[in-house]
Amino acid sequence: MAKKQTHLFHPEYRHDIDGLRAVAVLSVVGYHAFPNFVRGGFIGVDVFFVISGYLITKIIFENLYSGNFSFIDFYVRRIKRIFPSLILVLVTCFTFGWFVLLADEYKQLGKHIAAGTVFISNFILWNEAGYFDESADTKPLLHLWSLGIEEQFYILWPLFLWCAWKYKLNTLIFIITVAIGSFVLNIKGLERDIVATFYSPQTRFWELLSGSILAWFNLYKKEDLANVKLINDFFLLRILYYERHEAVKKTLRNLLSFVGVLLLVYGFWRIDPELPYPGKWALVPVLATTLIIAAGSKSWINQVVLSNKVVVWFGLISFPLYLWHWPLLTFARIVLSESPSLEIRSAAVILSTLLASLTYKFIEHPLRFSQNGIIRVAFLVILMVIIGYVGYITFLHSGLSFRTVNLLNYH
């Protein structure tokens, strides 16, 4: 008998999804650097959530179905994907902050570094201030709130899906039920605490689960789809996922992609920090992203626009670009003691793109696809623990007030 595979199977690569990542990260960077230009650019984070939910759930489903799923392998891959770039940015922020931050600022940075290493930044920020508050502009690691939510999802969701699979639950109904519950909490939460609703995982998970639902339809799109009474009469889904009606299916895919792009553009234009968010407004980027992914890689927009080499390149460096851009903008604001000029903000964006490219090429990609996985993963985990400990000590010791802060004499 042949030896059973123990490594995870990954779905076929789609250039257009990396292109969609590029749209997401560039909108967020644009919002942070030029908030008056794309006031709704922050919804790019919601786009990331849907993409993450789709890809992660598809990986889990495919490996559960084939009998190859391994929790250890799953989390090893997550560590190799997330830790290298995050460690570099955390160390850089701590080092630069040593020279330019006053004790109370450095104390807060230490707390945020410690929180970032264990992926609870959203909970820490939840108890400090809102994402759109003025004080948020002086927190170099504010943007790690979204990474916290994603990692919390990565920790919990594989276990939930594995249990549902083991006990032979209807996985589609299970996912939809959890998603609806999260969405209801999201709507109700705005009435009680808008900051908590923005940062809370239980009010955000429905966005990732929207991608999970799409992953289910993508994997079980033929005979299993026909057996699901809940959607058996939805002729659009039947046409989209059946082999026949090729001409109609092609038209429908193009239509889905086009409508998705229109919704996304509408979200960038209409949604702004003054609106209660996420709430019902988050449906706009979530639905838009779901439609674009559902359209498939062969729809015209996905194949021509989102699969363009330049766009895909930005998608490939999207994670380090997301990590780098906000600290650079924030430190510029702190050093200058005022809002940076257009030229400085533009320079920060260019520099963050350069750093993201170098980080991806020399750190993220080599470590992510390295052969000596276990040894490197152990090293990454130990290094992350050390960084978290140093951040926590910095917080406990009031920002290491013995430091001399004299860079540019900005204070």
The answer to the question of residue 233 being in a domain is yes
> Do 130 and 136 touch, CB atoms closer than 8 A?
yes
- Of 18, 44, 50, 55, the closest CA to residue 209 belongs to 50
- Of 35, 85, 147, 132, the closest CA to residue 352 belongs to 85
Task: Please name the residues in contact with 107: beta carbons below 8 A apart, sequence gap of 6 or more.
Answer: 394, 395, 398, 399
The answer to the question of residue 3 being in a domain is no
- Of 194, 201, 170, the closest CA to residue 52 belongs to 201
Q: What is the DSSP string of 317-333?
A: THHHHHHHHHHHHHHHH
- Kindly tell me the sign of the dihedral angle through the C-alpha atoms of 109, 394, 96, 98: positive
Main-chain phi, psi angles of 274, to 5 degrees: -75, -20
Whole-model pTM?
Answer: 0.91
Considering only CA atoms, give the Rg of the chain: 22
Main-chain phi, psi angles of 332, to 5 degrees: -60, -40
The answer to the question of residue 163 being in a domain is yes
Tokens of 2: 């042949």
Q: In the chain, how many domains are there?
A: 1
The answer to the question of residue 321 being in a domain is yes
C-alpha 167/C-alpha 129 separation (Å) is 42
Write the single-letter amino acid at 217.
Answer: F
Give how far the C-alpha of residue 346 lies from the chain's centroid of Cα atoms, to the nearest Å. 24
């989390």: which residue's tokens? 75
The answer to the question of residue 5 being in a domain is no
Confidence at residue 371, expressed as pLDDT on a 0 to 100 scale: 73
First to last CA, the chain: 71
Confidence at residue 200, expressed as pLDDT on a 0 to 100 scale: 96
Range of the domain at 141: 15-409
């990732």: which residue's tokens? 208
Confidence at residue 233, expressed as pLDDT on a 0 to 100 scale: 46
Per-residue pLDDT tens digits of the chain, which is 411 residues long: 333 444 566 667 899 999 999 999 999 999 999 998 889 999 999 999 999 999 999 999 999 988 889 999 999 999 999 999 999 999 999 999 999 999 999 999 999 999 999 999 999 999 887 677 667 888 999 999 999 999 999 999 999 999 999 898 889 999 999 999 999 999 999 989 999 999 999 999 999 999 999 999 888 764 444 444 444 445 455 555 555 566 777 888 899 999 999 999 999 999 999 999 999 999 999 999 999 999 999 999 999 999 999 999 999 999 999 999 999 999 999 998 778 999 999 999 999 999 999 999 999 999 888 776 788 899 999 999 999 999 999 999 999 988 876 554 444
């942070």: which residue's tokens? 32
The answer to the question of residue 129 being in a domain is yes
The answer to the question of residue 225 being in a domain is yes
The answer to the question of residue 10 being in a domain is no
C-alpha 17/C-alpha 315 separation (Å) is 8
> Do 390 and 111 touch, CB atoms closer than 8 A?
no
Q: What is the DSSP string of 376-408?
A: HHHHHHHHHHHHHHHHHHHHHTTTTTTS---GG
- Kindly tell me the sign of the dihedral angle through the C-alpha atoms of 76, 369, 289, 14: negative
C-alpha 404/C-alpha 91 separation (Å) is 19
